[in-house]
């Protein structure tokens, strides 16, 4: 397998992991919205309510930064990273 | 004070700017104490901020295509994040979102999840690759990846349909705020708003819009957060509302139980002014089916990843790596406002319906409520209304009506905050609507000038001529939008949500598969865009004309149908026709590797 193909395989792997987490917090948990709302969540808010106000939103922010870091590591591993930027 | 290149001094420049703006707020507060009228403060806030944006727009003027179309590709990640957040958060996000949560609760909050979750798709599927591609516009990517003028043209059509739907609502919002703050008729205020918008973008294109959007983000976030924190402290709900409103949320649920949601008769409702609503849905309970929630969130997420005015912001970063990180910063800055909207809705609702608070009006006598100053003001502005339907002389939950905008606009006044805050909020709403309108108008004008004029009609045109065409188009599209906005057919065009559905119907899969599926070819892309947009639009027209719809897909989520058709059409047609040539395959390989020269 060429270097490019290996790089793309890893990139695709990271995509699937990222999208799986995204799916859970954007769609998965809301399948059980009514049941989850009976449970107390962080800061004492009902759990589903908390996810729609803060939880899912905050998780997306962290997820994107995490993804960006991991993807950069993959790029570096194959020497595909850009050098001179921030 | 400022030495060296502008880009290197950004933190300092915007630091001084923020300090100056806070100084201006304090100055206005002192002015209020010294007897400045509410109207004068409103005018000062709106006029001062517009003047600053116009100044930034003038200072960013340029005659270079690279600066005009992609701000020279040197916008640092954090600042591009702020600019994207301003680009993204429209007048509707600023003025109407808290109101939507206030009235509709959980079912509406799918939009919060959808309008943030979409950025995960942007970061993983598209932004870094389109940045590597090195295109000026979104249709530029489609046209080059798939080849052919028809693909490019179809992409421009989808972009225009989606963005134009959106922009009339934004110009309308600038007009509404300008007409209230400057006290001029709406028909003229729309054009005042338009001229302010064009001042930011005409001379500097994307460069001008970038630096004004950063300035607008700072104004809008201060204008949103300051009242939320202040009100929370004022009514003793907690000094950091986001972490401390659990008791208030529980108290609202308790009051809802106690009052009950009494349904008004149609005859009673006929007396309520148009556009006002009562509280009919539970605040924090789950009041929508899973599919209703998920389908709306999903449509907004896929729409986010297809809207060209957002995508093109990531063309301005210095590198692919910076584009990825910049998406994270964008969402962080959006998160600051979106996570505050439900808190504002909670504070607003509690201060109105809790009889144990001095501001609570439910349970008071109708005559007493009608005598309150702020009630009279907002009643006159057609945003509040009470009526004693059951004739018992006391205000019940189902006898109090409010416009969606009032949650953001009136709550500061209800909680007893000084008028300077209301002026600040007007400036914030103006900033939100202007920044989004600028991004949208620029996206349309750039696509037509770059993709239709330069790439299809006159490929030999010189830079100067191209930029002249781009600027003329900017003005023409702006005036077209303003003219439609002035006609006030808001019921038809006001739905910001439609823009997302149009964009996802026509563009989501052609964009994503262009990067992630090498086998996707020109014929497939043409089928995907044309059939996707046509079927989405067809479904919308069908449902609006009394069609029953299917699978629970409504006129707010028709993009799910459109994009499904688009996907199937694109895959089937691609597989039925020959694979793209070796040069195109190599181009896709090149896009997938961050390092090296850009593709175009």
Q: Per-residue pLDDT tens for B239-260? A: 898 898 888 888 888 888 888 8
Q: Helices B38-59 and B205-234, interaxial angle, to 10°?
A: 150
Among B101, B117, B298, most A C-beta atoms within 10 A, so best to mutate, is B117
Give the residue numbers spanning the domain of A47.
Answer: 30-79
Q: Per-residue pLDDT tens for A9-26? A: 999 999 999 999 999 999
Q: Predicted confidence band at B397 (pLDDT cuts at 50, 70, 90)?
A: confident
Q: What is the H or E stretch that residue B277 is in?
A: strand B276-277
Phi, psi torsion values for B519, nearest 5 degrees: -70, -20
A46 located within any domain: yes
B416: left (phi over 0), alpha (psi -120 to 50) or beta: left
Across the interface, do B335 and A31 touch by the CB < 8 Å criterion?
no
DSSP helix/strand/coil, B282? coil
Residues 215-254 of B with CB under 8 A from A: 242-247, 249-250
What is residue B298's predicted lDDT score, i.e. its pLDDT? 96
Which tokens sit at B144?
Answer: 């080059």
Q: Which residues pair with A43 in a beta bridge?
A: none
Smallest CA-to-CA distance from B493 within B504, B481, B503 is with: B481
Q: Is B74 on the interface with A (CB under 8 A)?
A: no
Across the interface, do A33 and B128 touch by the CB < 8 Å criterion?
no
Q: Is B343 on the interface with A (CB under 8 A)?
A: yes
Cα dist. B597→B73, B390, B469, B507 in Å? 14, 73, 29, 26
Across the interface, do A26 and B244 touch by the CB < 8 Å criterion?
no
Q: Per-residue pLDDT tens for B33-69? A: 998 888 889 889 988 999 999 999 888 888 888 888 8
pLDDT over 70 (residue B493)? no
| Contacts (Cβ under 8 Å, ≥6 apart) of B249 | A45, A46, A49, B283, B284, B346
Chain B residues whose beta carbon lies within 8 Å of the beta carbon of residue A52: 106, 109-110, 112-113, 342
Chain A residues whose beta carbon lies within 8 Å of the beta carbon of residue B106: 33, 48-49, 52
Mean pLDDT, residues B560-570: 96
Q: Is B7 on the interface with A (CB under 8 A)?
A: no
User: How open is the CA angle B264-B270-B276, to the nearest 5 degrees?
Assistant: 80
Which residue blocks in B89-204 are alpha helix, DSSP H? 91, 97-104, 106-121, 127-133, 138-146, 149-182, 186-201
Cα dist. A57→A38, B85, B220, B336, B572 in Å? 21, 14, 20, 10, 36
A84 located within any domain: no
Which tokens sit at B449?
Answer: 């000038």
Q: Do B161 and B463 contact (CB within 8 A), yes or no?
A: no
Name which of A53, A75, A82 is nearest B339 (Cβ-Cβ).
Answer: A53
Cα dist. B396→A4, B352, B473 in Å? 68, 12, 53
Which tokens sit at A41?
Answer: 């969540």
**Chain A / chain B CB contacts < 8 angstroms:** 150
Question: Which pTM value belongs to this model?
Answer: 0.94
Chain A residues whose beta carbon lies within 8 Å of the beta carbon of residue B338: 57
What is residue A47's predicted lDDT score, i.e. its pLDDT? 93
**For a pLDDT cut of 70, what percent of chain B falls above it?**
98
CA atoms within 13 A on the CB side of B65: 14
Across the interface, do B109 and A53 touch by the CB < 8 Å criterion?
yes
DSSP helix/strand/coil, B238? coil
Residues 272-301 of B with CB under 8 A from A: 284-286, 288, 290, 293-294, 297-298, 301
Domain count, chain A: 1
A40 located within any domain: yes
Neighbours of B599 (CB within 10 A): 18
Q: What is the H or E stretch that residue B401 is in?
A: strand B400-403
pLDDT over 90 (residue B502)? yes
Q: What is the H or E stretch that residue B54 is in?
A: helix B38-59
What is residue B506's predicted lDDT score, i.e. its pLDDT? 94
Across the interface, do A56 and B294 touch by the CB < 8 Å criterion?
no
What is residue A83's predicted lDDT score, i.e. its pLDDT? 66
Report the C-alpha gap between B489 and B476 in whole angstroms: 20
Kindly provide the ipTM of the predicted complex, given to two decimals. Answer: 0.95
pLDDT over 50 (residue B234)? yes
Among B324, B518, B586, most A C-beta atoms within 10 A, so best to mutate, is B324
What is residue A86's predicted lDDT score, i.e. its pLDDT? 41
- Counting Cβ atoms within 10 Å, is residue B177 exposed (0-12), middle (13-18) or buried (19+)? buried
What is residue B491's predicted lDDT score, i.e. its pLDDT? 53
Q: To 10 degrees, the CA torsion angle through B372, B374, B378, B384? A: -50
Domain boundaries, chain B: 7-59+74-255+283-347+418-493
Across the interface, do B246 and A65 touch by the CB < 8 Å criterion?
no
Question: What string of DSSP letters covers B188-201?
Answer: HHHHHHHHHHHHHH
Instruction: Give the CATH number of domain B7-59+74-255+283-347+418-493; options: 1.20.1730.10, 3.40.50.360, 3.50.50.60, 2.10.10.90.
Output: 1.20.1730.10
């Amino acid at each position: 397998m060429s270097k490019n193909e290996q790089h793309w395989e890893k990139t695709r792997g990271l995509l699937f992991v990222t999208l799986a987490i995204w799916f859970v917090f954007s769609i998965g948990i809301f399948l059980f919205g009514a049941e989850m709302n009976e449970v107390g969540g962080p800061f004492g808010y009902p759990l589903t309510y908390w996810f729609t106000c803060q939880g899912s939103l905050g998780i997306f922010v962290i997820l994107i930064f995490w993804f960006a870091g991991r993807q950069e590591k993959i790029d570096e591993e194959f020497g595909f990273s850009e050098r001179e930027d921030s | 004070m400022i030495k060296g290149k502008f880009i290197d001094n950004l933190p300092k420049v915007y630091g001084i700017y923020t300090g100056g703006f806070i100084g201006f707020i304090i100055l206005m507060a002192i002015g209020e104490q010294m007897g400045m009228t509410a109207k004068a403060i409103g005018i000062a806030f709106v006029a001062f901020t517009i003047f600053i944006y116009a100044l930034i727009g003038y200072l960013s003027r340029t005659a270079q295509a690279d600066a005009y179309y992609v701000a020279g590709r040197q916008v640092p990640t954090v600042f591009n994040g702020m600019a994207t957040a301003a680009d993204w958060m429209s007048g509707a996000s600023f003025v109407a979102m808290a109101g939507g949560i206030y009235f509709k609760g959980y079912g509406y909050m799918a939009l919060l999840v959808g309008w943030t979750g979409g950025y995960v798709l942007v970061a993983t599927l598209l932004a870094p690759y389109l940045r590597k591609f090195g295109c000026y516009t979104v249709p530029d990517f489609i046209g080059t990846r798939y080849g052919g003028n028809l693909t490019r043209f179809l992409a421009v059509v989808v972009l225009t349909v989606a963005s134009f739907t959106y922009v009339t609502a934004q110009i309308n919002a600038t007009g509404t705020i300008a007409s209230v703050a400057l006290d001029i008729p709406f028909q003229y205020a729309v054009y005042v708003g338009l001229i302010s918008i064009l001042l930011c973008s005409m001379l500097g294109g994307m460069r001008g819009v970038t630096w004004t959007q950063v300035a607008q983000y700072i104004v809008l976030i201060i204008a949103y957060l300051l009242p939320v924190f202040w009100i929370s402290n004022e009514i003793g709900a907690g000094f950091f509302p986001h972490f401390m409103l659990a008791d208030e949320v529980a108290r609202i649920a308790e009051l809802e139980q106690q009052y009950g949601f009494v349904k008004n008769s149609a005859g009673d409702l006929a007396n309520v002014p148009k556009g006002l609503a009562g509280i009919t849905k539970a605040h924090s309970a789950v009041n929508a089916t899973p599919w209703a929630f998920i389908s709306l969130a999903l449509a907004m997420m896929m729409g986010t990843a297809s809207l060209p005015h957002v995508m093109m912001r990531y063309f301005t970063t210095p590198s692919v790596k910076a584009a990825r990180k910049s998406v994270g910063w964008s969402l962080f800055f959006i998160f600051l406002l979106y996570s505050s909207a439900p808190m504002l809705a909670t504070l607003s609702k509690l201060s109105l319906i809790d009889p144990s608070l001095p501001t609570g009006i439910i349970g008071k006598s109708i005559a007493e409520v009608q005598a309150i100053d702020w009630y009279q003001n907002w009643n006159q502005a057609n945003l509040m209304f009470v009526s004693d339907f059951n004739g018992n002389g006391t205000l019940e939950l189902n006898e109090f009506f409010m416009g969606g905008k009032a949650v953001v606009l009136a709550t500061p006044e209800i909680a007893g905050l000084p008028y300077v805050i209301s002026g600040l909020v007007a400036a914030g709403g103006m900033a939100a609507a202007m920044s989004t309108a600028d991004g949208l108008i620029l996206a349309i004008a750039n696509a037509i000038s770059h993709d239709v004029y330069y790439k299809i009609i006159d490929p030999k045109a010189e830079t100067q001529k191209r930029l002249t065409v781009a600027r003329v188009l900017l003005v023409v599209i702006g005036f077209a939008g303003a003219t439609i906005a002035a006609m006030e057919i808001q019921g038809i065009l006001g739905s910001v949500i439609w823009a997302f559905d149009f964009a996802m119907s026509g563009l989501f899969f052609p964009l994503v598969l262009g990067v992630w599926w090498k086998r996707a070819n020109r014929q497939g892309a043409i089928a995907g865009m044309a059939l996707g947009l046509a079927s989405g639009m067809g479904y919308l027209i069908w449902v609006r004309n009394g069609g029953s719809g299917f699978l629970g897909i409504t006129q707010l989520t028709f993009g799910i149908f459109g994009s499904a058709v688009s996907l199937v059409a694109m895959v089937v047609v691609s597989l039925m026709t020959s694979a793209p040539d070796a040069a195109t395959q190599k181009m896709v390989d090149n896009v997938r590797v961050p390092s090296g020269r850009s593709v175009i």
